[in-house]
């Protein structure tokens, strides 16, 4: 590991203590860089480490929210790496919006559309705009090729109700 990488990884750990703590749970130490060697493509998901968990940190079933909705991703027992890196114990988040992980073909890449949002950049949170009403959110971890791990690492679905929209900020010109 180069000195520059160690410095960047240490800075990232200081700026994001919760994310760094989750990454260190597998005993490998600091978070990996968000860019690096691209792994060779594989046809099936790489193995998941024993008992990894993915979950939505800041929302719970039955919660009433306003849009845009901030969704924060939690992960234990695995580390986040950007798309393109295929290594056991690493992956990135996919947020399913009003879609079910039960409908996915677990041997194929997760679709990329409005209902299947990819975070191949390694992001651990997002803001999404949702219409008023009931919505279901669910996280699925994918390997560097967007294929779910084997066994799949899937969060429990979270049902939220959007009760309104935050008005856009007024222009000060």
DSSP codes joined into one string, 109-120: PPP-BTTEEE-T
Higher pLDDT, 31 or 51: 51
- What is the average per-residue pLDDT within 85-110? 95
At 39, give phi and psi (nearest 5°).
-80, 165
Burial class (CB in 10 A: 0-12, 13-18, 19+), 148: buried
Contacting residues for 137 by C-beta, under 8 A, at least 6 apart = 56, 59, 71, 95, 96, 97, 157, 158, 160
- What is the average per-residue pLDDT within 139-155? 96
Topology (CATH) of 45-165 = Immunoglobulin-like (2.60.40)
| Separation CA 34–CA 28 (nearest Å) | 16
| Separation CA 141–CA 145 (nearest Å) | 11
- Asked whether the predicted pLDDT for residue 81 surpasses 50, the reply is yes
Lowest-pLDDT range of 17-21, 24-28, 155-159? 24-28
Contacting residues for 156 by C-beta, under 8 A, at least 6 apart = 55, 138
| pLDDT confidence tier of residue 86, bands split at 50, 70 and 90 | confident
| Separation CA 78–CA 140 (nearest Å) | 13
Higher pLDDT, 6 or 172: 172
| pLDDT at residue 67, as a whole number | 98
Mean residue pLDDT across the chain:
79
- Asked whether the predicted pLDDT for residue 144 surpasses 90, the reply is yes
- What is the average per-residue pLDDT within 65-88? 94
Domain boundaries, the chain: 45-165
**Chain-centroid distance, C-alpha 88:** 16
| pLDDT at residue 168, as a whole number | 76
| Separation CA 44–CA 33 (nearest Å) | 24
């Amino acid at each position: 590991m180069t000195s520059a990488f160690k410095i960047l990884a240490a800075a990232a750990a200081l700026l994001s203590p919760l994310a760094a703590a989750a990454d260190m749970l597998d005993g490998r130490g600091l978070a990996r860089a968000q860019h690096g060697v691209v792994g060779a493509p594989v046809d099936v998901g790489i193995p998941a480490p024993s008992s990894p968990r993915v979950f939505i940190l800041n929302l719970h079933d039955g919660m009433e929210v306003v849009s845009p909705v901030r969704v924060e991703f939690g992960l234990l027992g695995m580390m986040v790496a950007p798309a393109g890196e295929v290594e056991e114990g690493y992956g990135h988040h996919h947020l399913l919006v009003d879609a079910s992980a039960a409908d996915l073909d677990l041997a194929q890449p997760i679709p990329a559309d409005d209902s299947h949002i990819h975070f191949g950049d390694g992001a651990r949170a997002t803001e999404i705009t949702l219409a008023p009403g009931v919505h279901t959110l669910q996280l699925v971890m994918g390997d560097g090729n967007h294929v779910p791990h084997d066994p799949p690492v899937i969060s429990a679905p979270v049902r939220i109700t959007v009760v309104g929209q935050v008005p856009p900020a007024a222009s000060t010109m």
